[in-house]
Amino acid sequence: MPSPNLPGKPVADPVFKRLTLLGVGLIGSSIARIARLRGDIAAEIVVNARTRQTLDRVLQLGIADRVELDPAAAVQGADCVMLCAPVGAFADLAARIAPHLAPGAVLTDVGSTKQSVIRDVGPLVPAGVHFVPAHPIAGTEHSGPDSGFVELFQGRWTLLTPVPGTDEAAIARIEDLWRRCGAQTERMEPAHHDRVLAIVSHLPHLIAFTICGTADDLADESRQEVVNFAASGFRDFTRIAASDPVMWRDVFLNNREALLEMLQRFMEDAQAMARAVRWGDAAYIEDKVERGRKIRRSLIERKQA
Ligand code: NAP
């Protein structure tokens, strides 16, 4: 995919002097790669991960100026700290870094759930540090520092969910960072974010994991046929189901209410579809398929397919 505004020499001053990424998988390493390439996001990039192995790989890839195994050491002197680990790790990470955050620094994140992040991290943020929760709506089923790429956020949305009273300049700097990553930004109320993401992302993943489990539970000979003859329908589910188990465990457990509400609605609609199939209600089935096609067409028109 072409990314005309990504490579090239810096055209503006860096948004931040030192950007620290806590977690460097698909999302963190994509940000590091873009920041490296553009030069106008951060003058210095410091990376922390849970394991030495990941940090060694980051050094080999050349996508950070410095790596630190200790998150507290990683955030020292940073004017932007971004949590890029699974959301279930945020509370512990925030507790470890809080005393070491520089006054005036912006603390942000990329977590897929927003109310839980505000609940877990918000109370730990020291006075004088600005907390700007955010979520890039872009991803693949791959994880780890090798999976990142510079086009990941190109033309996609990043949603910011700051709580009322957050420093406007800090929010504007995070918006600037994401636009330089190629994303469009929008501000959203955290509870609304979690409901929207429950239907567009979390429920589809839950269905994909479940359908793959159902296929795997089939008798041996049928299971082999599923693998041999997987047409695009099942194959598309397996792509989504190949996602990182820890990341998705944390997303489901941290967006519990919204996910369960959407699942309940989905199960009612699936029951209605089952009834239509049972009673041969052709018009109902056709109408549902047509609505699906319309949604797909509108995604293509908005270049979000
Ligand atoms: P990932 O590829 O699995 O990478 C996770 C990173 O976090 C790794 O560097 C890992 O270090 C580190 N980490 C894992 N557990 C940790 C812990 N307990 N404490 C500290 N660091 C830990 O993950 P990702 O896909 O980039 O996702 C990162 C965040 O982005 C998540 O919060 C997710 O909700 C959000 N997000 C993901 C997507 C997506 O499609 N993947 C899209 C939007 C937002 P080691 O390698 O050393 O274990």
Q: Above pLDDT 70, what percent of the chain?
A: 96
Same domain, 237 and 149: no
pTM greater than 0.85 (yes/no) = yes
Report pLDDT digits (tens) over 43-53: 999 999 999 99
pLDDT at 11: 66
Same domain, 275 and 205: yes
Contacts of 142 (CB under 8 A, 6+ apart): 26
Q: Is residue 287 part of a domain?
A: yes
What's the Rg (C-alpha) of the chain? 21
Same domain, 156 and 120: yes
Last residue of a domain, one of 156, 188, 220: 188
CA gap 147, 177 in Å, rounded = 21
Q: Above pLDDT 90, what percent of the chain?
A: 85
Q: Is residue 210 part of a domain?
A: yes
Same domain, 167 and 48: yes
Report pLDDT digits (tens) over 117-156: 999 999 999 999 999 999 999 999 999 999 999 999 999 9
Same domain, 224 and 263: yes
Same domain, 107 and 207: no
Last residue of a domain, one of 160, 188, 216: 188
Mean pLDDT of the residues in the chain? 94
Q: Could you tell me if 44 and 65 are in contact, meaning their C-beta atoms sit under 8 angstroms apart?
A: yes
pLDDT surpasses 50 at 3: no
Q: How many CB atoms sit inside 10 A of residue 56's CB? A: 13
Closest ligand 1 atom to the C-alpha of 89?
18
Q: Is residue 11 part of a domain?
A: no
List phi, psi (to 5°) of 130: -100, 125
Q: Is residue 1 part of a domain?
A: no
pLDDT at 10: 59
CA gap 261, 205 in Å, rounded = 15
- Strand 134-136 vs strand 184-187: parallel, antiparallel, or unpaired? unpaired
Longest dimension (CA), the chain: 67
pLDDT higher at 209 or 299: 209
Same domain, 175 and 222: no
pLDDT surpasses 90 at 234: no
- CATH number of the domain residue 56 falls in: 3.40.50.720
- Residue bearing the CA closest to ligand 1, atom 23: 25
Q: Is residue 80 part of a domain?
A: yes
| Domain assignment of residue 280, given as a range | 192-301
Same domain, 146 and 243: no
Q: How many CA atoms lie less than 13 Å away from 93 in the CB half-sphere?
A: 26
Q: Is residue 32 part of a domain?
A: yes
- CATH number of the domain residue 236 falls in: 1.10.3660.10
Q: Is residue 6 part of a domain?
A: no
> Ligand 1: residues within 6 Å at CB?
23-28, 49-51, 54, 84-87, 89, 93, 110-112, 135-136, 139, 143-144, 244, 247, 251
pLDDT higher at 171 or 227: 171
Question: Residue 244 C-alpha to ligand 1 middle, in angstroms?
Answer: 9
Report how many domains make up the chain.
Answer: 2
CA gap 131, 164 in Å, rounded = 11
Question: Residue 246 C-alpha to ligand 1 middle, in angstroms?
Answer: 8
- Of 134, 115, 127, the closest CA to residue 177 belongs to 134
- Residue bearing the CA closest to ligand 1, atom 42: 139
Q: Could you tell me if 45 and 17 are in contact, meaning their C-beta atoms sit under 8 angstroms apart?
A: no
pLDDT at 220: 76
Same domain, 181 and 206: no
Last residue of a domain, one of 126, 155, 188: 188
